[in-house]
Chains A and B, each alone.
Chain A
Amino acid sequence: MLTRVIGRLKPLILGTAGTVFLASCATNAPQDTFQPKGPNAQKIDSLQKPVFAVAGIIGLIVASAVVYSIIKFRDKGQPIPKQSHGNPALEITLTIIPALILAVVGVFTFRTVFDLNKTSDTQMIINVTGQQWWWEYDYPTNNEYGITQPIITSGQLVIPVGTKVLLRETSRDVIHSYWIPALNGKRDAVPGRITLNRIEADEPGIYAGQCTEFCGLSHANMRMEAVALSKEDFAKWVANELKPYVAPAKDSLAKEGETVFLNQCTRCHQVNGLTREDGTPVIAAPDENVWSGAAPNLSHLMSRNTFAGAMFDLLTPECRSDVWKSESATFGEKYLAGVSEPCLNQTDLRGWLRNAPEKKPMYANPALLADTGGKYRGMPNLGLSESDIEKLVAYLLTLK
């Protein structure tokens, strides 16, 4: 009977085992927790591998014993065997052994937890703010790294390699969780509280992450990327972020795009240094239009590789692949080149400008905003004409 059942289930068992085995062979797995790229993630890795091995061996022993018992003592019509109660020696042994194993695991776990919570050696602070469904990064002034004025960006977190960076996380709306597996474990971003998360990257490169606390409709699309640059390249990135705004040339398509941006986008999106015709600075008012109070600051947008909460690439697949797969020595140069017109992912950017809620599920239906007092969660469909989209794309390309 049992043999027949196993025989029937054989394809299923083999199929599942094969799938699991093949999944473990994936080469393109940027969020693999078993590939640490920094000392904090390495600490977690060094802890989890032996714990996983011990747990695996114990699990295997227990599972084997259960399977053996099921087969050996299966019901064959034999009488019920003699029942016995109490075996102090065996019970004490089976209590002490797991307790000892847990105690050993606990010692190493606590040591790792304390190591990961250390903040006294911090070299750089970055404020990380979660919002449905994107992350904002602001860099307080830090003269040691040339940050003479605060920098604000989103989607991609840029850090210098070999630097102990402390992320001060919070949220503007619901609980989110920040996790870049290659650099550290996850930490919740909770409204009204500051949680600390230290990261450090060994090598230049891009490290992918994902919000890991269910936070609403587009939780699965709330992604993030940490970009590690050499210290020299980081200084260049900082210098670029601090560069003043340069208005597009007169009578250009981009200049027309700037006008469209002023009329349509500045209600929510800030571009530092942008002024109106009369010279007055433009201060966006996302707090009046967006439920959670903020919208991504688009200053130097084209120095980033992603948009819409890192859901879409600003680079075409070829150009993106060129950056992601570049060697450490050349990575900084390629990343700092930003987004050029030939490399711009026009398809997704134009699609986003044409109808953002269609590209990313958001609460952006004007007819369904009674609960939020008419405020959106995410970007609404602005009803832009193709001509306006053409102009806007030309303008956004100038925001380097």
Chain B
Amino acid sequence: MFTPGSKYLIAITGLSAFSLALYMLLVHPSALGAVALIGLVAATSLLTGITLFTRDGHAAEDQTSAATLDTPTPSMWPLVGAAGFSLVLVGTVTTPIVFIFGIVAILATLVEWTVQAWSERSSADVSYNASIRQRILNPIEYPVLAAIGVAVIIFSFSRVMLAISKDAGAIIFIVAASAISLVGLLISVRPQLKKSIVQTIAVLAAVGLVGAGIASMGFGLREDLVVAAEEDHYAHQECGEEKSEHFDKGVSETVSATSGADATIELVDGKLTAQVQGIEGLQDSITVRRANPSNIIFRNKDAGEFRLSAHLGKKQIADGVMEDVVTCTQLISEGAEQWLTLTINKPAVSGEPYTLSVPGVEGQSIVVVVP
């Protein structure tokens, strides 16, 4: 009843199950460990069942038909499929991207293996079978592989650019673009160039780029990006004067033309003025509706980089501890503009009006009135 192969697998399954029981009962179990061992038990059980069913692969000997006379060609897809299942299992307890890779591998296996198996049985002519497989799968394989190749190249190149300084990045960009142009030119003026030479150049370039990408990942990000990440560059708002060397360099300096603005605040020749939609002339105060998002545009028309800060009173953060409520635009250069959305729920306590000001510009402020 039990074939030699199945005996080994039954033993492995038993050991796996015993390990799982020990792990769950005696060791402090983690989800990852449990999933791995359950996966192992499931996989070995499956293999045991298949081995028993096929009598170590000899079950079909007495049922051989004309359609299965040829031995199937070796295929990598079972391996890919198994890897896919493993990735799905691991992905469920780690990160979604691993899970997605697993699903992609399983889907690819399903398509490729099915078509391959079907084509190998379509006739007794091996070359015809191969051609019919190619006719079905090549229109899918080529674009997918090209997309993967492009993604790998872009990813590798981006790792290189993030690791080196901005100046070196510009130089490398120019060199790389020039090299691509030169190779393209060479191929166009020498169409009789040997195919092997072109392939060698392409492979060397791809390997070099991927290698450089891997090496760059090893070196890590360049210093200013590391500092920006440490400073929580994109989330943190530093509403005072500029202190950090790397802060706010990636600021968007545009405002949508279709945005609905309550007021426009301009910094011109060291003076801060307000223009309110529907009111002629410059204002030194603006009225903002309570409990309603109010959009304010800050336009810097002075030399230098400035931001608009809104001082919105104080809030209690603990018993007896008050904190200033301040929000601001990002730092913008001359001629640029930024958007500030204020939602103020309550009127200011008398004597402490809400104000808009520009850090670094003394004696200038716009009063924000909330009825």
Give residues in A with beta carbon < 8 Å to B. Answer: 119-120, 122, 125, 127, 129, 136, 138-141, 150-152, 166, 168, 170, 172, 190-194, 196, 270, 281, 283-287, 292-294, 297
Which A residues lie within 8 Å of B278 (CB)? Answer: 119, 122, 125, 166, 168, 196
Which B residues lie within 8 Å of A284 (CB)? Answer: 346
Q: Can you name 5 extra interface pairs (CB under 8 A) apart from A285-B346, A297-B371?
A: A122-B279, A139-B371, A151-B371, A192-B260, A270-B347
Is B245 an interface residue when CB atoms closer than 8 A count as contact? no
Q: Mark B274-295, 1 if CB is under 8 A from A, else 0.
A: 0011111000010101111101
Which B residues lie within 8 Å of A136 (CB)? Answer: 289
Whole-angstrom distance from the CB of B284 to the nearest CB of chain A? 10
Which A residues lie within 8 Å of B350 (CB)? Answer: 281
B286-320, CB < 8 A from A: 287, 289-293, 295
Give residues in B with beta carbon < 8 Å to A. Answer: 260-262, 276-280, 285, 287, 289-293, 295, 345-347, 349-350, 369, 371
Minimal Cβ-Cβ distance residue in A for B279: A125
In the complex, the answer to whether A293 meets B277 with C-beta atoms within 8 Å is no
Which A residues lie within 8 Å of B290 (CB)? Answer: 293-294
> Contacting A170 at CB < 8 Å: which of B279, B289, B349?
B289
Minimal Cβ-Cβ distance residue in B for A152: B371
Which A residues lie within 8 Å of B277 (CB)? Answer: 168, 194, 196
A-B contact pairs, 12 of them (CB 8 A): A122-B279, A125-B278, A129-B292, A140-B276, A150-B369, A150-B371, A168-B277, A170-B289, A196-B277, A281-B349, A284-B346, A293-B345
Which B residues lie within 8 Å of A193 (CB)? Answer: 260
In the complex, the answer to whether B346 meets A283 with C-beta atoms within 8 Å is yes
Rounded to whole angstroms, the CA-CA distance of A167 and B175 in the bound complex is: 60
Q: Which has the most chain B C-beta neighbours within 10 Å: A139, A192, A286?
A: A192
Minimal Cβ-Cβ distance residue in B for A272: B347
In the complex, the answer to whether B295 meets A138 with C-beta atoms within 8 Å is no
In the complex, the answer to whether B289 meets A138 with C-beta atoms within 8 Å is yes
In the complex, the answer to whether A141 meets B346 with C-beta atoms within 8 Å is no
Dominant SS at the A interface? loop
Q: Given A283-B349, A285-B346, A287-B346, are A172 and B280 neighbors across the interface (CB < 8 Å)? A: no
Which A residues lie within 8 Å of B291 (CB)? Answer: 172, 286-287, 292-294
Whole-angstrom distance from the CB of A297 to the nearest CB of chain B? 8
Dominant SS at the B interface? loop
Rounded to whole angstroms, the CA-CA distance of A119 and B347 in the bound complex is: 28
Rounded to whole angstroms, the CA-CA distance of A141 and B279 in the bound complex is: 12
In the complex, the answer to whether A170 meets B346 with C-beta atoms within 8 Å is no
Rounded to whole angstroms, the CA-CA distance of A285 and B344 in the bound complex is: 11
Q: Which has the most chain B C-beta neighbours within 10 Å: A136, A139, A190?
A: A136
In the complex, the answer to whether A141 meets B295 with C-beta atoms within 8 Å is no
Minimal Cβ-Cβ distance residue in B for A290: B291
Which B residues lie within 8 Å of A297 (CB)? Answer: 371
Rounded to whole angstroms, the CA-CA distance of A141 and B287 in the bound complex is: 8
In the complex, the answer to whether B293 meets A283 with C-beta atoms within 8 Å is no
In the complex, the answer to whether B287 meets A140 with C-beta atoms within 8 Å is yes
Whole-angstrom distance from the CB of A170 to the nearest CB of chain B? 7
Whole-angstrom distance from the CB of B32 to the nearest CB of chain A? 35
In the complex, the answer to whether B369 meets A293 with C-beta atoms within 8 Å is no
Minimal Cβ-Cβ distance residue in A for B348: A283
In the complex, the answer to whether B347 meets A283 with C-beta atoms within 8 Å is yes
In the complex, the answer to whether B262 meets A194 with C-beta atoms within 8 Å is yes
In the complex, the answer to whether A138 meets B293 with C-beta atoms within 8 Å is no
Rounded to whole angstroms, the CA-CA distance of A126 and B287 in the bound complex is: 10
Whole-angstrom distance from the CB of A291 to the nearest CB of chain B? 11
Q: Given A172-B291, A294-B290, are A194 and B260 neighbors across the interface (CB < 8 Å)? A: yes
Whole-angstrom distance from the CB of A222 to the nearest CB of chain B? 17
In the complex, the answer to whether A285 meets B262 with C-beta atoms within 8 Å is no
Whole-angstrom distance from the CB of A327 to the nearest CB of chain B? 33
Rounded to whole angstroms, the CA-CA distance of A140 and B350 in the bound complex is: 17
Which B residues lie within 8 Å of A196 (CB)? Answer: 277-278
Which A residues lie within 8 Å of B345 (CB)? Answer: 285-287, 293
Please give me the 8 A-B residue pairs with the lowest Cβ-Cβ distance, nearest first.
A293-B291, A193-B260, A287-B345, A140-B287, A152-B371, A150-B371, A138-B371, A294-B291
Which A residues lie within 8 Å of B346 (CB)? Answer: 283-285, 287
Which B residues lie within 8 Å of A190 (CB)? Answer: 260
> Contacting A140 at CB < 8 Å: which of B260, B261, B347, B369?
B369
Whole-angstrom distance from the CB of A125 to the nearest CB of chain B? 6
Q: Given A127-B287, A172-B292, are A141 and B371 neighbors across the interface (CB < 8 Å)? A: no
Q: Which has the most chain A C-beta neighbours within 10 Å: B291, B295, B369?
A: B291
Q: Which has the most chain A C-beta neighbours within 10 Å: B260, B289, B345?
A: B289
Rounded to whole angstroms, the CA-CA distance of A285 and B346 in the bound complex is: 7
Minimal Cβ-Cβ distance residue in A for B258: A193
In the complex, the answer to whether A138 meets B287 with C-beta atoms within 8 Å is yes
Rounded to whole angstroms, the CA-CA distance of A172 and B288 in the bound complex is: 13
Minimal Cβ-Cβ distance residue in B for A127: B289
Minimal Cβ-Cβ distance residue in A for B367: A141
Minimal Cβ-Cβ distance residue in B for A297: B371
Minimal Cβ-Cβ distance residue in A for B261: A194
Rounded to whole angstroms, the CA-CA distance of A120 and B346 in the bound complex is: 31
Rounded to whole angstroms, the CA-CA distance of A194 and B295 in the bound complex is: 10
In the complex, the answer to whether A192 meets B295 with C-beta atoms within 8 Å is yes
Which B residues lie within 8 Å of A125 (CB)? Answer: 276, 278-279
Which A residues lie within 8 Å of B279 (CB)? Answer: 122, 125, 140
